[in-house]
């Protein structure tokens, strides 16, 4: 609040050098080497290439395919080729400009629809990162067949703080890595094969937004800063400039979804077949998991006896795509909800009534055969529709709303989102949390980072709630891997719901340890502390334990895909400017099941922030690639995110259908607000103008073109 929180660029170790990256100008080809400008003064410049890597040239994630620095071959434009360290940031950037990357370009493959089995090989034998098929039921009897194709582009996370990392050599030959990140333990796993040892500790600095963009990418930056720190023996700081961050780092996966459905005469869904093609970019990163979540959501929150879902994630010579809030679900839900509109249009039914007729109810099963209980689809739909009856608070922000050049529309969509990891993920990870009693205060030690979503507030609230003490007596310690146990990554809407549950358990263990130490049975925390004979800090560690309630088979993709689901209904009111094609948002109503809102202000902040990010995805956020696959609009002047003037009035409704497995009933809520708004906008545009857009983003150019092509 006073500007005293230290983000990575605010930290300046003594003798710190500044790092910069030399990148590939081409998408695909041979890397012949680099040439240094002989007229430039190189005396204070350090250079690192692939031959300086101590052990394996890999930034390990799910696979070992991505090198830290290109060696011999180039797989995508902007691929890191060499690294520079210099006494100042300006010197480092100047040096980069005096290096030429020598390449021999080959034909590149940029089109994901052409990738599978193409003669140009990027990954494996067939360019397929992952293929998934889910089948439930068989073929429907005769009915009305509706088919559609839905296409979504990249989206940039656009955390306001660009990526940044510092590596500091330690006296024992190891490294301390400090930076902007979601998952400190990922970095240790990623760098160990490259360094040939794991003598490092990773510390999260205050982090200026992540949204998935700081899940896996920081490992690459940490690898680079580490290589420079090893080469120079000095601390090295690397902070990306915005344009570099936009061109080089991961984005949401572009995706094409084809759906073929059959409904009977009453409008009930009888068959739903979906086929997904997802563009992973040049390396595997987390793409298989993103595809998994897309497939598990491409049925939508609707009941249907026969469902056949399949998908493939393929490689292209473009910068790798990666984690972004929603993680495959927003792409899938856009297709599902647009297809629901298409069916309603075809059979002449109101789109909301068509959804109401088909929405999933207690006892229905998902495509993987998971029987659902405590479903919330109808509850959030009714709640949102009620809330949307309220009169608008403010007059329209533009003249003549709904008249003349403005066409008014409303869109309503219904989504669900699987909370936490898929299947047995948590049982494999076994997230850990330690807790320490220090005097009268309690410290939580976890690797769950606060990236703006409020963990540093919510975790103390959970522990204080369990111990029945004031929240200000509980604090979250800094997230340094040297001090905290591995709680698993800060992703997948799992932190509050899963790790929060482990925090609650640790608090219970702490009380029990005090009871054992003092011989008292009291539950009064202060009474227990007062009865202690000494003040030695007391430490406990809790771990996630699989309670056996999840039955999931990863080989066949059957069973309980997620521990629970959240439900959300979006109602968006907007005007389309018929002269400019611009969409003007008037009001957004979101009704979302959160299980239990441990901190309602934080929950509402997540829901509202997710909604506006999704409205940006809907109409203004477009990544334009050139013929090399390089992002052309690599500035905030031309990659447009919503401002306070674009943002609508919001009505944020919190619905609580408790999940027995979450602390106090809480479900994961970070990602679900990203799912519903974009298709709601498409429906509202259709209602306002009659044009049908099945593509994201729905930019003014696309809207104008569609208006002009209208019969």
- Residues forming contacts to other proteins in the complex (CB under 8 A) are 1-7, 9-10, 157-162, 206-211, 241-242, 394, 397, 451-454, 601-602, 604-605, 608-613, 635-637, 641, 643-645, 647, 649-650, 652
- Shortest gap between Cβ of 456 and other proteins (angstroms)? 11
Bridge partners of residue 434, in order along the sequence: 445, 541
- Shortest gap between Cβ of 471 and other proteins (angstroms)? 14
- Shortest gap between Cβ of 467 and other proteins (angstroms)? 24
Q: Which residues contact 578 (CB under 8 A, 6 or more apart)?
A: 405, 406, 407, 689, 707
> Smaller CB distance to other proteins: residue 31 or 674?
674
Bridge partners of residue 33, in order along the sequence: 102
Show the CA angle centred on residue 665, arms to residues 661 and 666, nearest 5°: 95
Distance CA 314, CA 312 (A): 6
Strands, E, within 387-543: which ranges?
Answer: 406-419, 432-438, 441-445, 474-476, 538-543
- Shortest gap between Cβ of 642 and other proteins (angstroms)? 8
- Shortest gap between Cβ of 648 and other proteins (angstroms)? 9
Would you tell me how many other CB atoms lie within 10 Å of the CB of residue 45? 21
- Shortest gap between Cβ of 177 and other proteins (angstroms)? 20
Residue 180 tokens, joined: 């902007």
Long-range pairs, 509-516, Cβ under 8 A, ≥24: 509/435, 509/540, 509/541, 509/542, 510/435, 510/437, 510/442, 510/467, 510/538, 510/540, 511/466, 511/467, 513/538, 513/540, 514/437, 514/538
Residue 317 in contact with residue 109, Cβ under 8 Å? yes
- Shortest gap between Cβ of 271 and other proteins (angstroms)? 38
Phi and psi at residue 548, to the nearest 5°: 80, 5
Largest CA distance in the chain: 85
Question: Is 50 exposed, middle or buried (CB count within 10 Å of its CB: 0-12, 13-18, 19+)?
Answer: middle
- Shortest gap between Cβ of 110 and other proteins (angstroms)? 27
> Smaller CB distance to other proteins: residue 611 or 691?
611
Residue 176 tokens, joined: 């301390």
> Smaller CB distance to other proteins: residue 121 or 241?
241
**Which position has the token pair 């930034």?**
59
- Shortest gap between Cβ of 189 and other proteins (angstroms)? 25
State the DSSP H helix or E strand holding residue 335, giving kind and residue range, or none if neither. helix 329-347
Phi and psi at residue 425, to the nearest 5°: -50, -50
> Smaller CB distance to other proteins: residue 88 or 468?
88
- Shortest gap between Cβ of 408 and other proteins (angstroms)? 19
DSSP string, 476-493: EPP-BTTTS-----S-TT
> Smaller CB distance to other proteins: residue 227 or 680?
680
- Shortest gap between Cβ of 517 and other proteins (angstroms)? 37
> Smaller CB distance to other proteins: residue 480 or 649?
649
Distance CA 109, CA 76 (A): 10
> Smaller CB distance to other proteins: residue 478 or 605?
605
- Asked whether the bond before 697 is cis by omega within 30 degrees of 0, the reply is yes
| SS3 category, 86 | strand
Cα 314 to its chain centre, rounded Å, is 19
- Shortest gap between Cβ of 241 and other proteins (angstroms)? 6
Instruction: Please name which of 178, 196, 240, 213 lies closest in space to residue 13, comparing C-alpha atoms.
Output: 178
Phi and psi at residue 630, to the nearest 5°: -90, 140
> Smaller CB distance to other proteins: residue 128 or 158?
158
Residue 563 in contact with residue 571, Cβ under 8 Å? no
> Smaller CB distance to other proteins: residue 624 or 636?
636
Cα 407 to its chain centre, rounded Å, is 34
> Smaller CB distance to other proteins: residue 274 or 455?
455
- Shortest gap between Cβ of 132 and other proteins (angstroms)? 31
- Shortest gap between Cβ of 210 and other proteins (angstroms)? 8
- Shortest gap between Cβ of 464 and other proteins (angstroms)? 18
> Smaller CB distance to other proteins: residue 18 or 334?
18
Residue 79 in contact with residue 70, Cβ under 8 Å? yes
Residue 672 tokens, joined: 């679900």
Question: Is 38 exposed, middle or buried (CB count within 10 Å of its CB: 0-12, 13-18, 19+)?
Answer: exposed
Alpha helices in 430-488 (DSSP H): 455-467
Residue 222 tokens, joined: 């940490």
> Smaller CB distance to other proteins: residue 136 or 252?
252
> Smaller CB distance to other proteins: residue 275 or 621?
621
DSSP string, 620-643: T----B-TTS-BS--STTTS----
Distance CA 630, CA 590 (A): 36
Instruction: Please name which of 673, 477, 684 lies closest in space to residue 574, comparing C-alpha atoms.
Output: 684
- Shortest gap between Cβ of 587 and other proteins (angstroms)? 11
Q: Considering Cα of 492, then 493, then 499, then 505, what sign does the dihedral take?
A: negative
């Amino acid at each position: 609040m006073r500007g005293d929180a230290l983000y990575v660029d605010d930290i300046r170790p003594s003798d710190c050098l500044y790092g910069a990256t030399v990148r590939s100008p081409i998408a695909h080809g041979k890397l012949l080497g680099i040439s240094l400008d002989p007229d430039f003064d190189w005396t204070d410049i350090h250079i690192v290439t692939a031959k300086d890597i101590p052990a394996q040239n890999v930034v390990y994630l799910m696979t070992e395919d991505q090198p830290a620095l290109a060696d011999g071959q180039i797989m995508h434009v902007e691929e890191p080729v060499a690294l520079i360290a210099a006494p100042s940031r300006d010197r480092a950037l100047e040096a980069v400009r005096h290096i030429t990357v020598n390449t021999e370009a080959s034909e590149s493959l940029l089109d994901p629809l052409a990738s599978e089995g193409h003669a140009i090989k990027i990954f494996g034998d067939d360019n397929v990162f992952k293929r998934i098929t889910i089948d439930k039921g068989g073929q429907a009897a005769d009915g009305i067949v509706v088919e559609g194709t839905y296409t979504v582009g990249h989206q940039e996370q656009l955390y306001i703080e660009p990526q940044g990392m510092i590596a500091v050599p330690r006296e024992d030959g190891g490294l301390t890595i400090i930076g902007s990140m979601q998952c400190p333990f990922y970095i240790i796993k990623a760098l160990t094969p490259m360094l040939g040892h794991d003598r490092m500790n990773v510390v999260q600095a205050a982090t200026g937004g992540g949204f998935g963009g700081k899940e896996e990418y920081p490992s690459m930056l940490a690898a680079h800063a580490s290589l420079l720190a090893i080469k120079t023996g000095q601390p090295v700081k690397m902070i990306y400039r915005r344009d570099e961050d936009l061109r080089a780092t991961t984005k949401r996966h572009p995706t094409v979804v084809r759906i073929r459905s059959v409904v009977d005469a009453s409008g009930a869904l009888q068959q739903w077949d979906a086929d997904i093609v997802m563009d992973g970019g040049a390396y595997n990163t987390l793409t298989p998991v993103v595809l998994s979540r897309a497939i598990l959501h491409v049925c939508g929150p609707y009941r249907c006896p026969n469902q056949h879902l399949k998908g493939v994630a393929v490689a292209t010579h473009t910068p790798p795509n990666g984690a972004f809030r929603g993680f495959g679900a927003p792409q899938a839900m856009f297709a599902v909800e647009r297809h629901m509109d298409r069916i309603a249009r075809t059979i002449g039914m109101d789109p909301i009534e068509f959804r109401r007729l088909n929405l999933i109810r207690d006892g229905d099963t998902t495509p993987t055969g998971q029987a659902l209980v405590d479903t919330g689809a109808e509850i959030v739909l009714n709640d949102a529709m009620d809330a949307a009856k309220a009169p608008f608070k403010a007059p329209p922000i533009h003249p003549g709303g709904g008249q003349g050049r403005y066409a008014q529309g409303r869109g309503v969509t219904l989504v669900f989102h699987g909370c936490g990891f898929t299947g047995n993920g948590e049982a494999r990870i076994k997230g850990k949390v330690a807790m320490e009693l220090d005097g009268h205060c309690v410290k939580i030690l976890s690797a769950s980072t606060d990236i703006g979503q409020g963990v540093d507030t919510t975790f103390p609230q959970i522990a204080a709630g369990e111990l029945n003490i004031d929240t200000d007596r509980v604090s979250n310690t800094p997230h340094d891997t040297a001090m905290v146990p591995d709680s698993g990554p800060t992703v997948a809407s799992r932190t509050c719901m899963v790790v929060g549950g482990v925090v609650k358990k640790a608090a219970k263990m702490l009380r029990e340890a005090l009871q054992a130490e003092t011989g008292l049975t009291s539950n009064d925390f202060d009474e227990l502390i007062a009865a202690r004979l000494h003040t030695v800090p007391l430490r406990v560690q809790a771990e996630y334990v699989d309670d056996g309630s999840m039955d999931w088979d990863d080989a066949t993709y059957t069973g309980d895909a997620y521990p629970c689901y959240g439900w959300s209904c979006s109602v968006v009111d907007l005007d389309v400017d018929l002269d400019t094609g611009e969409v003007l948002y008037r009001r957004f109503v979101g009704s979302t099941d959160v299980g239990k809102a441990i901190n309602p202000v934080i929950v509402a902040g997540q829901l509202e922030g997710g909604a506006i990010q999704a409205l940006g995805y809907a109409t203004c956020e477009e990544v334009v690639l050139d013929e090399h696959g390089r992002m052309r609009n690599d500035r905030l002047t031309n990659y447009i995110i919503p401002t306070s003037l674009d943002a609508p009035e919001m009505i944020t409704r919190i619905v609580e259908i408790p999940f027995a497995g979450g602390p106090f009933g809480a479900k994961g809520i970070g990602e679900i607000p990203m799912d519903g708004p974009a298709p709601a906008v498409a429906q509202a545009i259709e209602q306002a103008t009659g044009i049908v857009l099945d593509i994201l983003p729905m930019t003014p150019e696309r809207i104008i073109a569609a208006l002009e092509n209208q019969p």
